[in-house]
Structure 1
Amino acid sequence: MRIVIAGGHGQIAMRLERLLAARGDEVAGIIRNPEQADDLTTAGAEPVVLDLESASVAELARVLAGADAVVFAAGAGPGSTAARKETVDRDAAVLLADAAERAGVRRYLIVSSINADSEHAGDGVFDAYLRAKGAADDAVRARSALDWTVVRPGALTDDAGTGQVQLTERTGRGPVPRDDVAAVLAELLTVPGTAGLTLELIGGATAVEDAVRAAAEGR
């Protein structure tokens, strides 16, 4: 399976790249900064330098040609402005959806956030982030040409993964290690029955494989 990850140098993306490469998948990570290329190569991924804030649909579609799935794991990151929440967290996700449709790639995973809501009120940067994530989710879910899954993790931590999660439509707030988010994404790519689901994700007591399969079977 060939998987292209937008935001390829992000903390979740790097973990996901290592997992996918270790199981024999072909992985490419889209990055803006060419200085990050060696890190992706070390993780087992092919670095693709492309700025998602300025790339065209046609340029990105060429990168996606031949892919079996795409993962949107990009984000403007801590310290960024409200404007960049829109151009990265929202607009780049929509761009990836447009390019996936053009390239004929149906499977699309998007890493969102618990409480993401395009109508979220508030003037803070985090409020803008939740609105941007919510708008991106809405845009992806509106694509009938995509087999999308929206993953909404709780508070992300750098704790070692436990391999135990809660993955349901509504989990409530809670922390989750980035290791376990990456493990869930890797498993979702192997379970087509999760297409069309929006799933919240926090730490829990169910093994990742079992949690993903339960989500698919409980639709």
Structure 2
Amino acid sequence: MISNIIFDCDGVLIDSEILSFAVDEKMLPENGVTITAGDLAREFGGVTYGEMVAALNERFGTEIDPKRYQERCEAELSRTFETELRAIPGMRDLLTRLTVPIALASGSDLARLDQCLALTGLADFFDGRIFSAEQVARGKPAPDVFLFAAAQSGWQAAQCLVIEDSPSGIIAARAAGMRSVGFLGGAHRSLEDYGILRDAGAEYVAGNSDDLHNCLRDFGLVGPSRH
């Protein structure tokens, strides 16, 4: 029985991935890598900067320093977020209707999470249960951050449902022994990405927050429908 929900943040709660990968698309050519924001989203959504840079270095034969690259991207993103970051449409209303405890488990670092949740006004929904891959040994697709979130919250993994927008996050949830729902409501995703989330192991894929609301209602995790 599902009694708790663990949300990813970027691309699920906040529409940040479209902004983040646009910065990558702009900066990577300076380092010898040419790749579109869409391809980055499909391949590296949910993973850490270090893991993305390592994969790109291997593919393109480059020697990008992950720490320096992350610092540059984060500085640019911080400025962009101040004026452009928004919550995913309908997500605030959905969070108010949940009838079970929730947590957040993200590949982003805690400082970025604090900024993003403050800017979008979503922090209070999580009652301090905000966790980052920087607190564990391995990022997604390893299960570490989800298992850490559950353990710190006093929850059993088998009773947690994960909401994720990336294949790596879905794989991580499955490895943690948790059920998962894929989410395509971020601007970086489209219905064409349905298959990659189902193939990764998502039990259901929601196209937007209304669809997610209906799915969670069927699980018995939210109050009455808005419609």
TM-score (norm 2): 0.37
Query: Highest relative contact order (Cα 8 Å, sep 6+), 1 or 2?
Result: 2
TM-score (norm 1): 0.38
Larger helix fraction of residues? 2
When Rg is computed on C-alpha atoms for both structures, the one with the higher figure is 2
Larger strand fraction of residues? 1
